[in-house]
Structure 1
Amino acid sequence: MMDSFQDVPGPQVVTKGRHTTLLRMAMNVIGCLISIPAYWAITVHCHYPVTLDLVFTILLTELNRLVNEGRRIQFYEEDSPEPLLPPRDEGYGSYSSTPYDEKNMSFMESQIVPQSRLDSMAAVVGWREDPALFTRALESYKNAKHCTFMLVGIDGDDVADRDMVDVFNIVFPTQSKVIHVPQPLGEVAEQFLAKHIAICKQNGQPINMEECHDIAMRHCFQLARTIIEQEGVNLSSVRHICLRQRHMHKKGIMFTTFVFALVIADVLGIEFLWSSDSDTLVLPNSIHKTVDAIAQDPTIGGASSGLIVHNGHETAVTNLAATVYWGELYLTRSSPAFTATSDCQSGPSTVFRLAALPAILIPWYLQTLLGKRMIINEDRHLTTNLLKRGWGVVFASDVLAATDTPTTMARWLKQQVRWARATHIESLLQPKVYLITHPLLFYSMSKRELGPLIALIATLWYFFTGEQLIIVFIADLFVRVVASALYNLLRNPHRLERASLKWIIPGMFFYHIPLPGVHVWSLLTLTADGWGTSMRNNSEMAKKDSVRQAWWETGFFVGWMAVVAGCVARWLATYYELSSGELLLAMVVSSAAAAAVAWRLTIYQMS
């Protein structure tokens, strides 16, 4: 196989998407400056500001769906790809029935031709996943239309990590290969980059970081090609590759997997990469319907689909979380998306235009915050890097994939805090993004960052003083809750089962009541990190946190619920005109009871 890549120059590095003129930047800044005051002026003169905000969000959500469908129609009219093909033996098309002769055929892009521009490669990464869930996840790709190649990245090569390799071999017994990567390619890129910069400094040469990143990426491409050749991988027949490397973190295995994906896709002529997690199931249309939402516009670098929860009936927490995905996340993620400025591509259901990846992978991998390497915000920082380079990012809200959600309150809170940290980092510390993107992104960011903070301040103020900083109209909240539920029932692409309808209203409280506490605690602990949600195999699930660690991760929830319960007690005591002593007693008892319940649901279970 040494001749297979001889004439292949490697993936093309495209550094920019759309060009943003100075005039456009100026208009974006003006739009950012006037968007929040204008919205404030409208809402303060309205008795239903929460409902008005919902109406505006619904209009943006509908507009996003309309724009996405317009791109699809234009794509099919202009490119006329071949009709969707039914899944084959293992869900992957075969490119040719002609016997392969490696002496007479090199893997040139013009010689291995995709059946359609919608053909994509899938990359799934994970670490110590539950074998049964991982099996279901991989099996789902067998029915995924236009998924022509499968890459699996396993972040670990110890004995405990063999379960995932065994699952891969069982699900894909043929046309498959397991490759051990001797050194994580992220480390290789970092070491090569440091060496190249040192040589430039020693020789007195100017340092162009983009050029250095380009050289380091090409080195990684060459190394990946060499590993593939040494493993004797025949890309005309192999359709599933499992990559194993020493355990690092999610960014580490994603970097390695993406590099291999770029090399292989360049050989196969594939334009798009579907990126997902080991706990996520794809539906037959998940991949190609996300791809066809961006295929027509070469300036769009990425997209993500909507998400539903496949374990929604497992516990009360999963039932509640399923309604959060169904309602709240569907609406909030749709808001800026029609302008192709979605600021988060969900890790479980993301498509990348491969041409956009080479220039952003090293800056993404080497991100630092206050001098510390960041590994927690892999999804959002990839999106930020795309937006900063002019690439559009869209949200295909009418397409669904099914992900796993934590089954306990403690695990749910840890996940929410981790996501919130990434949101703060990318929203507040990347101001350049707002220069080159539509002001609607800045508006959405401001509402998302300021709303929970204001709610927390107002709640604490009322708890200690009894004075209301914000006047809340009960009728406004009621209309918002009812209108949101009705809209989702009518227009959300995910149709809830009848048994799930009773969880809709509780799910709204489940999401919004802890939100201010999650928001502020994550803001105060920006640099905390980890692989992500704790893994689900037996060895990982059996682990317990120390009491100190449990208090650090979820103690804020205990305190916040005490404050919320105290505020409710104060309001009821005031309403029924209790004496000051009775009011204080009611607040103390309510706060203590709420704190005890919160402690039982989180710290007690974790430690």
Structure 2
Amino acid sequence: MQQDARKPHPGSRRCSGLARRVLTVAFALLILGLISWAYAAGVPLASDRYGLLAFGLYGAFLALHLVAQSTFAYLEHRRVARRAAARAPLDAGSARSVALTISAFQEDPHYLRQCLTAARALQYPRARLRVLMVVDGNSADDLYMLDMFREVFADEDPATYVWDGNYHQPWEPAAAGTGAYREVEAQDPGRLAVEALVRTHRCVCVAQRWGGKREVMYTAFRALGDAVDYVQVCDSDTRLDPMALLELVRVLDEEPRVGAVGGDVRILNPLDSWVSFLSSLRYWVAFNVERACQSYFNCVSCISGPLGLYRNNLLQQFLEAWYNQKFLGTHCTFGDDRHLTNRMLSMGYATKYTPRSRCYSETPSAFLRWLSQQTRWSKSYFREWLYNALWWHRHHAWMTYEAVVSGLFPFFVAATVLRLFYAGRPWALLWVLLCVQGVALAKATFAAWLRGNARMVLLSLYAPLYMGGLLPAKFLALATMNQSGWGTSGRRRLAANYVPLLPLVLWALLLLGGLARSVARAAAADWSGPERAAEAVHLAAGAGAYAGYWLLMLALYWGHVRRLCRRRAGGYRVQV
């Protein structure tokens, strides 16, 4: 008879955990040291006679990184496809119970209706699915969302409730008069009413006192308790694919060690502007290359807020710690999805991504609002990077490697750009710009092949948006990591936030100063020697190639995309 495997002694587990921590720290320091040395030393691997066309060790490392990332992403897509082909149909009788939670805040009625209609159309057994929408705000201006919920789910006996408070706002019973006797109730009747509705109705919408997105999500999670097996998160500007939930559920059903799974988030409004179009291409690569690669190693760093599924028994264990997260003494409000993912990773559970689950979410079409969004996301990225580092030892070494590489990348890029702008050699600057666009084009070409859509080639146009907008915004995010808030404005009133423009202005002044210095030094230099003559030839040819590349890309964009764009209104009005 087979004997049960002996459990390791607690002391040996502690020693094993300590050893993994030491090895992980050593590995991280090794990667950090090698990358820093390769960058600082500038070791050339290939060069022409005058060192004008040089390819260094750091560039080779980045190229190998992109090749490895693309290869593992492709292998993950293959693995997902094989598993999907071998699956049997879902048995409705044994399907896991799921709650779809929707977070809403001053949502555009057009987007909200799409979200709720898509929730109704989900291909999942009705008896095993609940829908719970929580509105952040309970004023008269917010109640149109409750009305729309009742309208869309009219045949589902929906329940709606306006809560004067929320789980974390002090509740005080109303006084019967000055000096009058009051019987103080032990618990908030609003909270009891919300929890009773969630237990007794399949479709529930609650409008509560404003508290931010994390407060809204907490209400949904806390009210559900242990009533369901899985919890799906979704935003009110998101349109779910009918098969989105089913594909997420299959991943958790098939892999018990997976604690959370995310899907493919695409852009709902790609043709609103050039910003939203480039964002749509960037989103596809972020999910289907970068997160697909992470999924190959079971360590997806962020289960995105619009489309994610969690094991409820695990979520309830860290719910309070997730809500009460603080950074430098400040209560954290944004970055809720990254911290949910990190909490799951901290417990040693795997996180996955499946491209078979899909949704479409709104993205900013105006540059300023996009910049504010990216600054907010960068804040949560840097903050969660520090928390994530505590649990590298519990997961595959790729998680450590990629965190170090992606964490250092913006700093090395900024240092490279500044060094070249002030180097006094126009060709050196142009050569790096050509290399950047060449790498961007190669990455875009791979994405076009993987997706089977030639339009992905235009992803290479995203490089200037990153270099001129997102890169300086990251440094503002790093300097203001401890500032919290909802992080976005409701779409009814799009508040203008000009603070993210400050680093862009400073960045532009730095680059213009360096460019002027380099041009002045080049103009004063002696160009009669053979090396300078060769540099002049390279400069003319490179400038022509660079200009030709941009003319071609802009022509493709204008001919195939720009003419299809239409501008949406910056806000909306609702009759209350």
Q: Give TM-score scaled by structure 1 length.
A: 0.71
Greater Cα shift, 390-399 or 148-157: 390-399
Of residues 52, 62, 67 in structure 1, which corresponds to 2:74? 62
Greater Rg over alpha carbons, structure: 2
Write the mapping of 1:475-490 to structure 2, written as runs, cut at 5 A. 476-490=435-449
1:489-515 CA-to-partner distances (Å, cap 9, x unmatched) read: 1213xx65x7x5574332232234323
Structure 1 residues 378, 442: CA separation in 2 closer, same or farther (over 3 Å shift)?
same
| Superposed displacement of residue 157, structure 1 | 0.4
**Kept in 2: contact 1:181–1:243 (CA 8 A):** yes
Write the mapping of 1:170-569 to structure 2, written as runs, cut at 5 A. 170-175=151-156, 176-187=158-169, 226-227=192-193, 231=197, 235=200, 238-265=201-228, 271-328=229-286, 330-463=288-421, 466=424, 473=432, 476-492=435-451, 496=453, 503-537=458-492, 540-541=493-494, 544-545=495-496, 550-567=497-514
| Superposed displacement of residue 129, structure 1 | 0.5
Structure 1 residues 559, 290: CA separation in 2 closer, same or farther (over 3 Å shift)?
same
Provide the alpha-carbon RMSD of the alignment. 3.5
Greater Cα shift, 358-367 or 280-289: 280-289
The alignment-based identity, stated in percent, is 22
Match of 1:28 in 2: 24
**Kept in 2: contact 1:51–1:476 (CA 8 A):** no
| Superposed displacement of residue 301, structure 1 | 0.9
**Kept in 1: contact 2:420–2:429 (CA 8 A):** no
| Superposed displacement of residue 524, structure 1 | 0.4
Greater Cα shift, 507-516 or 294-303: 507-516
**Kept in 2: contact 1:360–1:385 (CA 8 A):** yes
1:115-168 CA-to-partner distances (Å, cap 9, x unmatched) read: 343653211101110111110111112222226221111111001111211211
**Kept in 2: contact 1:301–1:353 (CA 8 A):** yes
Kindly provide the amino acid, as one letter, of the partner of residue 481 in structure 1: A
Q: Structure 2 CA distance, aligned partners of 1:472 and 1:42?
A: 19
Q: Structure 2 CA distance, aligned partners of 1:506 and 1:290?
A: 32
Kindly provide the amino acid, as one letter, of the partner of residue 193 in structure 2: I
Answering whether residue 120 of structure 2 is matched by residue 142 of structure 1, we say: yes
**Kept in 2: contact 1:68–1:293 (CA 8 A):** no
Q: Structure 2 CA distance, aligned partners of 1:116 and 1:363?
A: 32
Match of 1:123 in 2: 101
| Superposed displacement of residue 280, structure 1 | 0.8
5+ unaligned residues in a row in structure 1: which ranges?
Answer: 1-18, 84-113, 192-218, 266-270, 580-604
Answering whether residue 90 of structure 2 is matched by residue 82 of structure 1, we say: yes
Kindly provide the amino acid, as one letter, of the partner of residue 446 in structure 2: Y
| Superposed displacement of residue 246, structure 1 | 0.3
Of residues 144, 159, 168 in structure 2, which corresponds to 1:163? 144
**Kept in 2: contact 1:122–1:150 (CA 8 A):** yes
| Superposed displacement of residue 249, structure 1 | 0.3
Q: Structure 1 CA distance, aligned partners of 2:80 and 2:457?
A: 32
Kindly provide the amino acid, as one letter, of the partner of residue 149 in structure 1: R
**Secondary structure in 2 matching 1:293:** helix
Kindly provide the amino acid, as one letter, of the partner of residue 399 in structure 1: S
Q: Structure 1 CA distance, aligned partners of 2:63 and 2:102?
A: 40
**Secondary structure in 1 matching 2:300:** coil
Kindly provide the amino acid, as one letter, of the partner of residue 73 in structure 2: T
| Superposed displacement of residue 323, structure 1 | 1.8
| Superposed displacement of residue 183, structure 1 | 3.3
**Secondary structure in 2 matching 1:174:** helix
Kindly provide the amino acid, as one letter, of the partner of residue 490 in structure 2: M
Kindly provide the amino acid, as one letter, of the partner of residue 141 in structure 1: A
| Structure ranking higher on relative contact order (CA contacts 8 Å, 6+ apart) | 1
Structure 1 residues 419, 25: CA separation in 2 closer, same or farther (over 3 Å shift)?
same
Q: Structure 2 CA distance, aligned partners of 1:289 and 1:561?
A: 45
1:281-328 CA-to-partner distances (Å, cap 9, x unmatched) read: 111222221222232222211111121111010122212221221235
| Superposed displacement of residue 278, structure 1 | 0.6
**Kept in 2: contact 1:155–1:248 (CA 8 A):** yes
Q: Structure 2 CA distance, aligned partners of 1:308 and 1:570?
A: 43
**Kept in 1: contact 2:298–2:352 (CA 8 A):** yes
Q: Structure 1 CA distance, aligned partners of 2:324 and 2:511?
A: 40
Match of 1:598 in 2: none
**Kept in 2: contact 1:289–1:399 (CA 8 A):** yes
Q: Structure 1 CA distance, aligned partners of 2:353 and 2:316?
A: 22
Q: Structure 2 CA distance, aligned partners of 1:115 and 1:369?
A: 45
Q: Structure 1 CA distance, aligned partners of 2:98 and 2:89?
A: 14
Kindly provide the amino acid, as one letter, of the partner of residue 62 in structure 1: Y
**Kept in 2: contact 1:68–1:338 (CA 8 A):** no
**Kept in 2: contact 1:459–1:567 (CA 8 A):** no
Kindly provide the amino acid, as one letter, of the partner of residue 522 in structure 1: A
| Superposed displacement of residue 72, structure 1 | 5.5
Q: Structure 2 CA distance, aligned partners of 1:474 and 1:554?
A: 23
**Kept in 1: contact 2:135–2:206 (CA 8 A):** yes
**Secondary structure in 2 matching 1:359:** coil
Greater Cα shift, 430-439 or 520-529: 430-439
**Kept in 2: contact 1:324–1:508 (CA 8 A):** no
**Secondary structure in 2 matching 1:179:** strand
Match of 1:11 in 2: none
**Secondary structure in 1 matching 2:339:** helix
Q: Structure 2 CA distance, aligned partners of 1:556 and 1:303?
A: 35
| Superposed displacement of residue 458, structure 1 | 3.3
Q: Structure 2 CA distance, aligned partners of 1:156 and 1:440?
A: 42
Answering whether residue 96 of structure 2 is matched by residue 133 of structure 1, we say: no
**Secondary structure in 2 matching 1:536:** coil
**Kept in 2: contact 1:308–1:326 (CA 8 A):** yes
State how many pairs are aligned. 480
5+ unaligned residues in a row in structure 2: which ranges?
Answer: 1-12, 46-54, 173-185, 527-569, 572-576
Q: Structure 1 CA distance, aligned partners of 2:285 and 2:511?
A: 24
**Kept in 1: contact 2:138–2:163 (CA 8 A):** no
Q: Structure 2 CA distance, aligned partners of 1:520 and 1:376?
A: 18
Q: Structure 1 CA distance, aligned partners of 2:33 and 2:76?
A: 24
